[in-house]
């Protein structure tokens, strides 16, 4: 604990400095210890004897709540708060106001920083931001491991039986509780260190023999049906099973004192690390084979080979990564949520999980090794965190949130059939985003007036080959059938980049989001677009057909696409297909370059749809899937509000309707701001329609417009706090 002492004195100085700078009587730092316990580590103002003695569980008290939700909390009278937990040894009964922020490194909460004052005062947004900045610096200190990993030689993760919290990226919102099922061959290694390396090597050799025989049997069964290429792949698999270098490396690790399982795991992780760096798809596949073999070897070592998929009733599926088909393979009725070690919002599995309504968290580091099969698990898809083996405090907080969620659901159901009209009689059109046939029944349930974005790429991504015109036509016909008389806007294929098609050879790209994707790709491979347009025209069967093109960057791209629609329409009419009653063509505004071509573009389009997910990432140069950037820039900020207001004003002047169909539309506070920017059509996932409708019905559009226009001119990083306070004051739900 030598360096620990040094850190302690630094923390003691920090709390003094903050207290002085913020004119606070108390400043305290709580650090997360083994077992998800927050321990008072340093304080100015509370009694010194409470240091290293006062402890709160995650979810317990205000400090526990901040760590649990990873959200700041400011209260003018903390003692009145339902979650206030009094600790007499601290002497904190003297202090009324309280402001705390999480100390976070990436998604991981390492502790909580708190200031307190005697008087009942409110802390301003700037003060909270100052505390958050200090917390960022503290995170580096706490994250260095000197403070929180040295307790009695035990790491924070500690023994496998302690509760564990893993932060991640929300891929689909929602909350769930259930039992962990580890996807594939998740094997828990209970013992890492071994005393007798020779015995471990003997166990390894025996398991390797078993595994080789099993692989040979498996290949013999398959050999008859293999073509040349598959045969080659399988042969390399067999070769790896007999690879000396691989086994030697495992033996070396055993000789350094690990159990056979831990050694295989270690080499497997090395392979995984290497795999992540390799670009060449061929070598990547080979390394994936080796990883797969390591899993098999672990099964043989632990005697769990061939275990069947007996899912518990409430399954929380834990996986490194999953293909969409693999997810669909599981019994939906038993699945409650999905937790992935990898994954991004645009990953195929995330899209399918959304369609299935499964709360999903990605980028949960080490989930497979830290969660054991059968563990009780809570998935908090509001705050992007997963708890394994949660303690009573966490369970209770979670149950309270779940009850609140149920109550809100009931309230939402009540607004389903009410119009989305504001207090001053402005109608806002609320549309639904969809991308799979299983989404469509939600259209009736959620009360949307139509589909503002139908993402056509998903069926293309889950197939083995490009679907022909008939297949596509059948699919689009079903969409038309189920939407009835409500409008539906189809977006042409937005594949490429990070949404590869398995049957299309694509170059590996440095920056896939800015690469060969969407309209760029379909204009270069016009047959793909032509087939899709034919299928859409045929499926419309005389109805109105709305089509929009993604990632339009240059006006000539839109003109080319329009030319193709016109040619396909003429061809279809010539072959006797009934023409749609009208064809409306729109451009998606996702690339900033289009903003300075609007005067030319607007006269040629029937509507404009803002893809705020992509637009935001390009405007702020901030990768939409990068968790380290999620809190840095805010869509509720002057540049974004000005951009959207100017753009909408131009479109209104040209009589071109504007829809916004990115994630922003589905968050009530963001929706309020968008309405203030002049946008009157919002398209969002089904679950967001009712909450956004509640917001619309409670607000006064004229007043919100004035406010948003004022905020758009401010010199501040984010206007979220002001909008939140405004909504709270007016009783507008968000
Ligand atoms: C967007 O970019 O906002 C959008 C709706 O498209 P996607 O999320 O499919 O890229
Ligand atoms: Mg987009």
Model confidence pLDDT, tens digit, residues 444-468: 888 899 999 999 987 787 666 788 9
**Ligand 1 pocket at CB < 6 A:** 453, 455, 494, 590, 611-614, 661-662
Residue 66, token pair as written in the block:
């901040």
Whole-angstrom CA distances from 602 to 595, 626, 647, 649 are 11, 33, 11, 12
Residue 170 in tokens: 């929300």
Listed in sequence order, the residues at least 6 apart from 710 whose beta carbon sits closer than 8 Å to its beta carbon are none
CA of 352 to the centre of ligand 1 (A): 15
**Ligand 1 pocket mutation, candidates 619, 659, 660, 661, criterion most atoms within 8 A of CB:** 661
Q: Which residues are near ligand 2, the ion (C-beta closer than 5 Å)?
A: 590, 611, 614
The catalytic site residues sit at 348, 661
For the full predicted model, state whether its pTM sits above 0.75.
no
What is the reported pLDDT for 436?
A: 76
Is residue 281's pLDDT more than 80? no
Residue 485 vs residue 230, higher pLDDT:
485
Residue 108: per-residue pLDDT: 76
* Per-residue pLDDT reduced to its tens digit, 359-417: 999 999 889 888 888 889 999 988 888 999 887 777 877 887 788 778 777 877 888 88
The least confident of 116-125, 284-293, 377-386, 579-588 is 284-293
The whole-number pLDDT of residue 381 equals 87
The gap between the terminal CA atoms of the chain, to the nearest Å, is 47
**Closest by Cα among 491, 458, 450 to 681:** 450
pLDDT value, residue 498: 66
User: Mean pLDDT, to the nearest integer, of 407-429?
Assistant: 90
Mean per-residue pLDDT over the chain, rounded: 85
CA 482/CA 440 separation, integer angstroms: 7
Residue with CA closest to ligand 1 atom 8: 613
Rounded to 5 degrees, what angle do the CA atoms 76, 81, 85 make? 115
Residue nearest atom 3 in ligand 1 by C-alpha distance: 611
Q: Does position 301 have pLDDT exceeding 60, yes or no?
A: yes
pLDDT at 325: 58
Per-residue pLDDT band at 234 (split at 50, 70, 90): low
pLDDT for 107: 67
Q: Could you tell me the CA-to-CA distances from 606 to 557, 582, 583, 674 in Å, in that order?
A: 16, 11, 9, 21
> What are phi and psi for residue 98, nearest 5 degrees?
-150, 135
What pLDDT, on the 0 to 100 scale, is given for residue 218?
A: 65
Residue with CA closest to ligand 1 atom 6: 611
Q: What's the count of helices (H) and strands (E) in the chain, helices before strands? A: 25, 22
Contact yes or no for 59/394 (Cβ under 8 A): yes
Query: Residue 149's pLDDT is what?
Result: 38
Ligand 1 atom with least separation from CA of 610 = 3
Highest mean pLDDT among 151-160, 314-323, 563-572: 563-572
Residues 6+ apart with CB under 8 A from 675: 422, 426, 428, 696, 699, 701, 704, 705
Q: Give the tokens for residue 514.
A: 């800015």
Residue with tokens 């790429």: 457
Nearest bound ligand to CA 346? Answer: 1
Task: Give me the pLDDT at residue 490, please.
Answer: 98
Structural contact between residues 42 and 11, judged by C-beta atoms closer than 8 angstroms: yes
Ligand closest to CA 615 = 1
**CB contact at 8 A, 704 and 637:** no
3-state secondary structure of 154: coil
In the reported structure, the alpha carbon of residue 590 is separated from the centroid of ligand 2 by a whole-number distance in angstroms of 6
**Would you say 681 and 662 are in contact if contact means Cβ atoms under 8 Å apart?**
no
The pLDDT tens digits of the residues spanning 23-38 come to 999 999 999 887 778 9
Query: Beta strands 376-380 and 175-182: pairing type?
Result: antiparallel
Which numbered atom of ligand 1 lies nearest the CA of 494?
A: 9
Query: What local confidence, expressed as pLDDT, does residue 305 receive?
Result: 56
- Cα-Cα-Cα-Cα dihedral sign, residues 566, 572, 578, 580: negative
Distance of CA 453 from the midpoint of ligand 1 (Å):
9
Residue 662 CA to ligand 1 center (angstroms) comes to: 5
CA of 363 to the centre of ligand 2 (A): 21
Q: Whose alpha carbon is nearest atom 4 of ligand 1?
A: 611
Atom of ligand 1 at shortest distance to CA of 662?
A: 3
Provide mean pLDDT across the span 116-129. Answer: 89
Q: Using CA of residue 118, residue 120, residue 121, residue 123, what is the dihedral sign?
A: positive
pLDDT at 440: 85
Q: What is the pLDDT of residues 61-72, one digit of tens each?
A: 999 999 988 889
Residue 370, helix vs strand vs coil: helix
* 127-136, 498-507, 559-568, range with greatest mean pLDDT: 559-568
Residues 549, 559: contact at Cβ < 8 Å?
A: no
In which residue are the tokens 């609007």 written?
Answer: 598
Test site for ligand 1: of 512, 520, 588, most ligand atoms within 8 A of the Cβ: 588
Query: What's the chain's length in residues?
Result: 734
Nearest atom within ligand 1 for CA of residue 345: 8
The total of other beta-carbon atoms located within 10 Å of residue 137's CB is 10
What is the tens place of the pLDDT at every residue in 550-559? 999 999 999 9
231 pLDDT above the threshold of 60: no
Q: How far is the CA of 617 from the centre of ligand 2 (A)?
A: 10
Q: Are 72 and 128 in contact (CB under 8 A)?
A: yes
> 605-616: per-residue pLDDT in tens?
999 999 999 999
Is there a contact between 636 and 688 (Cβ–Cβ < 8 Å)? no
């Amino acid at each position: 604990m030598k360096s620990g002492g040094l850190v302690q004195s630094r923390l003691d100085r920090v709390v003094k400095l903050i207290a002085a700078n913020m004119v606070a009587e108390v400043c305290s730092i709580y650090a997360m210890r083994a077992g998800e316990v927050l321990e008072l580590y340093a304080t100015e103002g509370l009694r010194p004897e409470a240091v290293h003695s006062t402890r709160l569980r995650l979810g317990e008290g205000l400090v526990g709540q901040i760590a649990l939700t990873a959200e700041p909390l400011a209260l003018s009278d903390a003692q009145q708060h339902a979650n206030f937990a009094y600790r007499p040894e601290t002497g904190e009964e003297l202090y009324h106001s309280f402001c705390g922020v999480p100390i976070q490194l990436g998604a991981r909460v390492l502790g909580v920083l708190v200031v307190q004052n005697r008087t009942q005062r409110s802390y301003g947004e700037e003060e909270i931001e100052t505390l958050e900045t200090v917390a960022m610096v503290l995170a580096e200190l706490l994250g260095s491991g000197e403070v929180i990993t040295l307790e009695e030689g035990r790491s924070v993760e500690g023994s496998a039986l302690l509760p564990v919290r893993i932060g991640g990226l929300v891929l689909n919102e929602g909350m769930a509780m259930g039992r962990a099922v580890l996807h594939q061959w998740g094997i828990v290694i209970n013992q890492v260190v071994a005393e007798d390396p020779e015995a471990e090597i003997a166990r390894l050799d025996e398991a390797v023999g078993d595994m080789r025989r099993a692989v040979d049997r498996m290949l013999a069964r398959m050999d008859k049906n293999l073509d040349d290429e598959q045969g080659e792949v399988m042969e390399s698999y067999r070769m790896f099973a007999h690879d000396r270098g691989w086994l030697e490396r495992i033996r070396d690790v055993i000789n350094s004192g690990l159990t056979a399982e831990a050694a295989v795991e270690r080499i497997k992780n090395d392979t995984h690390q290497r795999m992540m760096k390799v670009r060449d798809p061929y070598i990547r596949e080979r390394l994936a084979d080796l990883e797969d073999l390591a899993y098999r070897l672990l099964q043989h070592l632990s005697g769990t080979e061939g275990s069947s998929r007996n899912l518990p009733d409430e399954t929380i599926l834990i996986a490194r990564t999953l293909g969409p088909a693999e997810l669909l393979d599981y019994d939906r009725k038993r699945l409650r949520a999905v937790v992935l070690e990898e994954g991004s919002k645009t990953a195929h599995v995330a899209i399918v999980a959304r369609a299935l309504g499964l709360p999903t968290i990605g980028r949960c580091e080490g989930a497979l090794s830290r969660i054991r099969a059968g563990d009780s698990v809570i998935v908090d898809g509001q705050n992007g965190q997963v708890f394994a083996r949660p303690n009573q405090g966490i369970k209770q907080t979670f149950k309270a949130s779940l009850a609140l969620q149920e109550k809100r659901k009931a309230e939402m159901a009540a607004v389903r059939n009410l119009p989305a009209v504001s207090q001053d009689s402005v109608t806002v059109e609320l549309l639904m985003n969809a991308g799979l046939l299983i989404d469509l029944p939600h259209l009736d349930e959620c009360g949307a007036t139509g589909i503002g974005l139908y993402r056509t790429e998903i069926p293309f991504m889950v197939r083995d080959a490009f679907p022909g015109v008939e297949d596509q036509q059948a699919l689009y016909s079903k969409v038309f059938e189920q939407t009835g008389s409500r409008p539906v806007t189809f977006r042409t294929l937005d594949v490429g980049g990070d949404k590869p098609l398995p049957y299309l050879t694509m170059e590996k790209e440095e920056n896939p989001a800015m690469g060969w994707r969407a309209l760029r790709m379909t204009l270069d491979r016009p047959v793909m677009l032509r087939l899709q347009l034919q299928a859409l025209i045929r499926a419309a069967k005389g109805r109105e057909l709305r089509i929009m093109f993604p990632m339009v960057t240059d006006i000539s791209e839109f003109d080319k696409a329009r030319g193709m629609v016109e040619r396909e329409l003429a061809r279809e009419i010539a072959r006797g297909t009934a023409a749609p009653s009208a064809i409306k063509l729109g451009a998606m505004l996702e690339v900033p370059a289009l903003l300075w071509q609007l005067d030319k573009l607007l006269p040629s389009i029937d509507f404009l749809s803002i893809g705020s997910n992509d637009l935001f990432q390009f405007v702020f140069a901030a990768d939409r899937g990068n968790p380290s950037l999620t809190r840095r820039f805010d869509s509720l900020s002057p540049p974004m509000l000005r951009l959207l207001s100017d753009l909408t004003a131009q479109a209104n002047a040209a009589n071109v309707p504007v829809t916004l169909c990115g994630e922003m539309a589905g968050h009530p506070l963001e929706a309020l701001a968008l309405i203030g920017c002049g946008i009157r059509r919002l398209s969002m996932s089904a679950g967001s329609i009712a909450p956004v409708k509640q917001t619309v019905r409670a607000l006064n559009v004229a007043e919100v417009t004035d406010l948003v226009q004022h905020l758009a001119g401010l010199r501040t990083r984010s206007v979220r706090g002001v909008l939140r306070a405004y909504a709270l004051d007016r009783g507008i739900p968000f």
